[in-house]
């Protein structure tokens, strides 16, 4: 569980740091980023928001583009951003070199099909191994929130819905809300999980809402000009599933916004305030 510091930069009175470690869960080296706000010097129990990025991203996209450091510094919120998948020479990638599967596209699930099952266990990594590492090495509490964008929004919703009591808050930007019924999800689920679509339900937020045992309020922002809105993201399916389950969901359709980090930066303050409200003592 030892950490190797990769880089460190001062930001809004706090520190943005990147670390490398050997992951037993994923069987490879992983890099994650952590933002430590100024309050880290005065307390030993800061809450933590885990941010899950989308297809083709790494830990760097959110930390550099979202503008989250300013608000995290004000709120006293630690942010942890893992990579989006296992990587390395020993980790299998898509043989056809497609951008939406393999490296950068772990889909935050635990694969059962070969050759993916050995390394592609991002759900276990995000929910268990990474928080244990963070809580062992940084002055943080077990008050956890989770958020993400696109594929990472799917991951945030699924991590929260599958792990009752693990997270106090959850939100998402433009999540892949119903992955078992969209091209991105069907490709990933078919290869990572196999042909039995019944097993896919364990990794689909719309399906998981029906059996959720806690009612942690969900905040979702979706850009109205998002090119992926109708075919891939399907937020209205999520809204319908939440209504059927009686689960609190605030879905905000934002006219004119696309799928980019301009969209995320425009509303990240709202999301961080949503999380800190639930994560305060």
Specify the DSSP class assigned to residue 94.
Answer: -
State the average pLDDT over residues 155-160.
Answer: 98
End-to-end CA distance of the chain: 29
Residues involved in catalysis: 150, 226, 259
In the predicted structure, residue 199 carries a pLDDT above the cut 80: yes
Tell me: pLDDT of 8 over 70: yes
The whole-number pLDDT of residue 59 equals 96
Residue 270 pLDDT greater than 90, yes or no: yes
- What are the structure tokens assigned to 58, written together? 């790494």
pLDDT (tens digit, 9 = 90+) per residue, 12-46?
999 999 999 999 999 999 999 999 999 998 777 89
Percent of the chain residues topping a pLDDT of 90: 94
* CB-CB contact of 28 with 116 (8 Å): no
Predicted pLDDT at 1:
64
Classify 80 in phi/psi space as left (phi over 0), alpha (psi -120 to 50) or beta: beta
What local confidence, expressed as pLDDT, does residue 39 receive? 95
Domains of the chain: 3-279 (3.40.50.1820)
- pLDDT category at 227 given cuts 50, 70, 90 is very high
Q: What residues form DSSP beta bridges with 18?
A: 7, 33
Region 244-263: what's the mean pLDDT? 98
What mean pLDDT do residues 142-149 have? 97
Rounded-to-integer distance, Cα 182 and Cα 220, Å? 19
Residue 241: predicted pLDDT: 98
């Amino acid at each position: 569980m030892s950490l190797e510091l990769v880089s460190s930069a001062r930001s809004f009175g706090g520190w943005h740091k990147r670390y490398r470690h050997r992951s037993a869960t994923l069987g490879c080296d992983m890099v994650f980023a952590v933002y430590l706000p100024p309050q880290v010097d005065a307390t030993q129990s800061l809450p933590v928001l885990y941010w899950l990025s989308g297809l083709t991203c790494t830990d760097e996209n959110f930390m550099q583009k979202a503008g989250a450091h300013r608000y995290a510094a004000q709120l006293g919120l630690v942010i942890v951003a893992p990579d989006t998948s296992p990587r390395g020479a020993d980790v299998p990638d898509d043989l056809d070199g497609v951008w939406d599967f393999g490296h950068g596209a772990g889909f935050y699930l635990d694969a059962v099909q070969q050759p993916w099952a050995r390394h592609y266990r991002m759900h276990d990594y995000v929910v268990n191994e990474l928080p244990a590492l963070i809580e062992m090495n940084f002055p943080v509490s077990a008050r956890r929130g989770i958020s993400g964008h696109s594929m990472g929004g799917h991951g945030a919703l699924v991590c929260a819905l599958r792990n009752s009591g693990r997270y106090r808050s959850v939100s998402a930007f433009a999540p892949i809300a119903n992955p078992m019924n969209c091209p991105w999800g069907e490709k990933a689920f078919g290869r990572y999980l196999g042909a039995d679509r019944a097993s896919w339900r364990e990794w689909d937020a719309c399906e998981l809402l029906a059996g959720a045992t806690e009612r942690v309020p969900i905040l979702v922002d979706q850009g109205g000009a998002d090119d992926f809105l109708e075919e891939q993201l399907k937020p209205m399916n999520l809204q319908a599933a939440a209504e059927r389950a009686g689960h609190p969901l605030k879905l905000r359709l934002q006219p004119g916004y696309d799928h980019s980090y301009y969209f995320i930066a425009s509303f990240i303050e709202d999301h961080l305030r949503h999380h800190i409200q639930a994560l305060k003592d």
